[in-house]
Amino acid sequence: MAIALYMDENVPRQILLGLRLRGVDVLSVQEDGRSGDPDPSVLARANELQRVLFTRDDDFLAIASQLLQQEISFIGLIYAAQQLVSIGDCVRDLELIAKVSDLTDFSNHVQFLPL
């Protein structure tokens, strides 16, 4: 019962490293060779990899809303506003989510941080 995370391009590297130090399975868009891909492609890639997408880019909220309206499934999205949620809070909340959740908890769902 754990989920793997996929990090959008604008997630600070400190979050990625902090999660890895805590044993969370995380992959960044950059490591996946997808830098510069349009946002819908990034979410589609997260679906393909069966990883919940974490982002601090509010454009993904509109994409998720559109998918929900069109009844198109997506793996799930976790969003934290850049100005409102610290790096430490992101690491702590994402670790908890990753370790106690499973993919069915996130199917077609947007989770906002902080918890």
Give residue limits of the domains in the chain. 5-113
The tens digit of pLDDT for each residue in 11-35 reads 999 999 999 999 999 999 999 999 9
CB-count exposure of residue 53 (10 Å: 0-12, 13-18, 19+): buried
Count other C-beta atoms under 10 Å from residue 74's C-beta.
21
State in words which class domain 5-113 has: alpha beta
Residue 60 amino acid letter? F
Instruction: Give the global pTM.
Output: 0.96
Nearest to 107 by CA among 52, 60, 70: 52
Evaluate the omega torsion of the peptide bond into residue 38 and state whether it is cis, within 30 degrees of 0: no
The tens digit of pLDDT for each residue in 69-109 reads 999 999 999 999 988 999 999 999 999 999 999 999 999 99
